[in-house]
Amino acid sequence: MRPVAALLAALALSAPAARAAVAADPVLAEGLHALETQTNGVQAACLIWYQDRPRLASEMEARVDALCKDLGAVVGSEVVATQHLASRDDRTYVVVYFERHPLWFLFERYVGREGGKDKPGFLPLKVSLQADDILPSFITEFKT
């Protein structure tokens, strides 16, 4: 086997393992931990994710609450993938497992500027009960 072909084969075989070890942004991880462990988890998580934007935190809390009210308790979460879009923009795809159904999230972290300094923060999140509404097709398409 040629060296390039061997390298491509090794990368293809290691891709599932690499995807399972995706690390979350520390603020995102802190919010997920609050969501999983606190009685008012949705509110606590949104206040962490949007700590300097209380009105947006409240809007995101209402959006998530509307979807998860009948799903039962949170039983875990998983970062499915992270996608680096540009030097100041990353997307993280997350699933939160509830007792009755998963809830899918798209977090987009953008590094803006304020007062001449970089200011990272999350854009309004996208959330759905349907994985296909959130995940890009390269993750959800069947592999043969």
Residue-by-residue pLDDT tens, the chain, 144 positions = 454 444 334 434 334 434 444 567 899 999 999 999 999 999 999 999 999 999 999 999 999 999 999 999 999 999 999 999 999 999 999 999 999 999 999 999 999 999 999 999 999 999 999 999 999 887 777 766
Ramachandran region, residue 7 (left: φ > 0; alpha: ψ -120 to 50; beta: rest): alpha
Question: What kind and span of H or E run contains 16?
Answer: helix 3-20
Domain locations in the chain?
Answer: 22-140
Q: Which CATH class is domain 22-140?
A: alpha beta
Q: What is the pLDDT of residue 138?
A: 74
pLDDT value of position 30: 96
Helices (H) and strands (E) in the chain, counts: 6, 5
**pLDDT (0 to 100) of residue 136:** 87
Q: What is the pLDDT of residue 144?
A: 61
User: 35, 77 in Cβ contact below 8 A?
Assistant: yes
